[in-house]
Structure 1
Amino acid sequence: MLTSAEVAYRGLLIEQDKRSAHRYVDSYEELKGKTLLDIGAAEAIFTLDTIEYIDHAYLFECDDAWIESLEATFALWKDRITIVRKYVSDVDDDNNITLDRFFQDEGKSIDNLFLKMDIEGYERKALKGAVHILEHGQQIDGSVCIYHLHDDKKVIESELKNFNLKTSIQLGYLYFEKEMRSALY
């Protein structure tokens, strides 16, 4: 009999399998030399899988239950990982930050980024807080979940196209809230 940890780990592996509708990239090579914004990091399996390809990762995670695990998991790469304990949103306050403000405050380049957004229906707000990055950044790639809200596929595609970004939908579907939905742009 499998432990709950083993079941959870298998689920993560299935989620990022090359055949999964929830896989964030076709190949990890796509992230070579990029700065990864793991927005909604949770256990950060995607960052862990890509750590040898990326230059740096910002793990945006507020759930206290994950922080100790993230620090332990990435101890060997602590010079390439920054844990940001704020929600990514369209407002800046004690608990939230826009990506535009984050990069302004950090004084970091907005070029050569990969944005992974899996934030339980708050992807739209996060995109609204990234207007400067999406308008002016060069070599911006990403994977944005489009299944949390019923009309995410339509609304998020429209928002991304407003910035003249090319979009494509990951093949396959997820069964979510009693219907089949596309998973990612």
Structure 2
Amino acid sequence: MDIIYQNCNRLDILINKEPPARRNNIKYKVDQLKYDLKHVQNSLAILQQRRCVREREKEEREALLSRNFTTNDDTSIFLDYELHHHDKLGESNRALDELLGAGGSILEGLKHQGSSLKSAHTRVISLAQTLDLATLRGPIEEGVNIHKSSTLITTFLSTFFSIITSPCNYFITITLQVP
């Protein structure tokens, strides 16, 4: 294979000595040879790998078949991985049970809070009706609206004055330079 690869490289060099009319055709054929060589090398590598796998499997079968088994010998099977896996599955099962239990208790707490909030809401409504707070609702909402508008105006004015009084305000310097 190495000799074929060296010959392909030599052909690459010899292509330049051909007349320009034939050079492209010959270069195409040399490239095709290189491609075929790579394909054959890959196929050979795959065949060698398969042969190694078959030989290893054959050796393992021979070793297993040549082993002498007796009836009184102890047989040990390594179950460490399976035991560890089983323990981890049990732990995850317990953790999921705890998680589901915690979720159930949270849902029960939310149900209880919802029912107590409903009863508190009905009591507040009945108390408001008893005290006739509907007449106070209008002035309270007006006060809230006035408070919102005064906050907005104050924010606008403070921003405006901070812009005007800032030392690096270009607007003021431009207006001062006008004759």
* TM-score interval for Structure 1 and Structure 2 normalised by the shorter chain: under 0.3
| Structure with higher strand content | 1
TM-score (norm 2): 0.16
Rg (Cα) greater in structure: 2
TM-score (norm 1): 0.16
Higher relative contact order, structure no. (Cα contacts within 8 Å, ≥ 6 residues apart): 1
